[in-house]
Amino acid sequence: MNKFVAFLENNLSTPMAKLSEQKHLRAIRDGVVSALPFIIFGSIFLIIAFPPVAADSAIGQWAAKHIAEILIPYRLTMFIMTLYITFGIGHSLSQSYKLDPLSGGLLSVAAFLFTIGVKMVKDIGFVLPMTNLGGHGLFVAMIVSIFSVEMIRLCKTKNITIKMPDSVPTSVSRSFEALIPVTIVLSIMTLITVVAGVDLHSLVDKAVAPLIKAGDTLPGVLIPVFLITFFWSFGIHGVSVVGAVARPVWEVYLANNSAAVAAGETIPHVAPETFFQWFIWIGGSGATLGLVIAMLLTARSTYSKTMARATIVPSIFNINEPVIFGMPIVLNPILIIPFVVTPLIGATIAYVATSIGLVNPTYVMVPWTLPAPIGAYLSTGGDWRAIILVLVNITISVIVYLPFFKMYDQKLLAQENPTETKEDTNVAL
């Protein structure tokens, strides 16, 4: 077992952990995370616009009457989330290169806006189409943000900049330093999108279409679920590793789902990040709330009883590092098995239930620290069946964890009371 663990750690876990810290992937991850407050804020207004009450109730009628005004905060935050993410990617990548992060963020936004263009509307004038400012434009945003910052770095490295005297204020000096890369990047974007008329969004859509389709299937759900718990088994933050690659796709699903609800259309995707958060990671990665409940119900060793009392409250709010490193689950050959298997079972049940219409797909981003039944209810726009699904998955997680925990707890009990355990064994014989 030790040789097998060492092999996996050396040949898979460690290289993947290093990959997650690659500058460009880390910048994308940081950019997406930086926009979460805006996404959560905008999601709240989706719930207000489509309240979980009867349509003919007083609240339902009020929401229907004022839906256009209610959705304005949503349209200026979550609906155009890629605009915020673009700045975050440019800012983070510039910071990692020790460049001026403000210049990197601003140039990234400008380059992204050039991919969208403007349209002339009669009696109104020029308008900026908003469609590609949402999740639909996220992949283009990633490309142009990286291109913009790399151009700044190239100019800096090759000394292709305008240098001002030392007496000039730093902010002014940095502005002139960025002038040449800004000119180069925006000139290139003008040639591509204005002169040549290339629609980068359509090209990228065709390129990533297989990825988007695959990620919304059952295998596309199970693979990241397995990888996240696999990396956690070695003490590596699985969501950070897998999320660096998968989160942009999950955000596209969430944006598409919320846009469909706002437009009164059918919700298209099963598996945005909120699906994983509320139906699979109940208590945290590995669905460890089930383990903690099993500990509370059956623990015999002093250590397990203490850990159960210490970890139940954090687990209810989806904070499970105490139980992962405290039991520990990391590198524990007994508890690793249910830690990996439990979320795979929960994911399968949740995917089937959602895809066949037993539960509404998630489309609202709510704070991840909410207890799972509440978070699931809100993220589905107030579907009470989501609560039932969460309770079913919690029950299953307790059942799966229970025999493995009892085996491990017996081992702990034997270590705490070796003489007593030996006497019990002799009596049994």
Quick one: which H or E segment has residue 178?
Answer: none
Q: Which of 144, 165, 198 lies at the terminal end of a domain, its last residue? A: 198
Same domain? 178 vs 302: no
pTM of the model: 0.79
Same domain? 109 vs 186: yes
Cα dist. 361→35, 64, 258 in Å?
22, 21, 10
pLDDT at 427: 44
The answer to the question of residue 329 being in a domain is: yes
129/119 Cα distance (integer angstroms):
7
404/290 Cα distance (integer angstroms):
12
pLDDT (tens digit per residue) in 81-120: 899 999 999 999 999 999 999 999 999 999 999 998 778 7
pLDDT at 11 over 50: yes
Lowest mean pLDDT among 184-193, 229-238, 286-295, 418-427: 418-427
Residues 6+ apart with CB under 8 A from 368: 277, 318, 375
CB atoms within 10 A of CB 15: 10
Quick one: which H or E segment has residue 334?
Answer: none
239/126 Cα distance (integer angstroms):
42
Q: Which of 150, 181, 198 lies at the terminal end of a domain, its last residue? A: 198
Same domain? 166 vs 271: no
- Contact of 160 with 277, CB cutoff 8 Å: no
Q: What single-letter DSSP state applies at residue 10?
A: I
Number of domains comprising the chain: 2
Give the mean pLDDT of 30-35: 87
Residues 6+ apart with CB under 8 A from 198: 192
pLDDT at 13: 57
Same domain? 190 vs 249: no
The answer to the question of residue 69 being in a domain is: no
pLDDT at 192 over 60: yes
pLDDT at 429: 42
pLDDT at 26: 86
Same domain? 305 vs 177: no
Same domain? 182 vs 310: no
pLDDT band at 12 (very low <50, low <70, confident <90, very high): low
Average confidence score pLDDT of the chain: 86
CB atoms within 10 A of CB 407: 11
pLDDT (tens digit per residue) in 197-211: 888 988 888 888 888
The answer to the question of residue 20 being in a domain is: no
Give the mean pLDDT of 221-238: 84
Give the mean pLDDT of 320-344: 87
CB atoms within 10 A of CB 361: 26
The answer to the question of residue 398 being in a domain is: yes
Q: Which of 183, 198, 213 lies at the terminal end of a domain, its last residue? A: 198
At CB < 8 A and 24+ separation, what contacts does 182-185 make?
182/103, 182/107, 182/110, 184/151, 184/155, 185/107, 185/110, 185/111, 185/147, 185/148, 185/151
Q: Is the dihedral of CA 185, 189, 191, 194 positive or negative?
A: negative
Select from 168, 184, 96, 108 the least CA-distant residue to 142. Answer: 108
The answer to the question of residue 415 being in a domain is: yes
Same domain? 151 vs 250: no
Using only C-alpha atoms, the chain has a radius of gyration, in whole angstroms, of 25
Range of the domain at 323: 223-428
Same domain? 193 vs 314: no
Residues 6+ apart with CB under 8 A from 256: 135, 136, 268, 269
38/404 Cα distance (integer angstroms):
41
Q: Which two tokens stand for residue 39?
A: 């996404």
Same domain? 346 vs 405: yes
Same domain? 189 vs 230: no
pLDDT band at 402 (very low <50, low <70, confident <90, very high): very high
pLDDT at 263: 87
The answer to the question of residue 101 being in a domain is: yes
Cα 275–368–358 angle (5° rounding)?
30
- Contact of 185 with 147, CB cutoff 8 Å: yes
pLDDT band at 387 (very low <50, low <70, confident <90, very high): very high
pLDDT at 9: 58
Q: Which parts of 233-369 fold into alpha helices (H)?
A: 238-262, 273-279, 289-298, 302-316, 321-326, 336-355
The answer to the question of residue 214 being in a domain is: no
70/43 Cα distance (integer angstroms):
11
Same domain? 141 vs 229: no
The answer to the question of residue 291 being in a domain is: yes
Same domain? 251 vs 381: yes
- Contact of 103 with 153, CB cutoff 8 Å: no
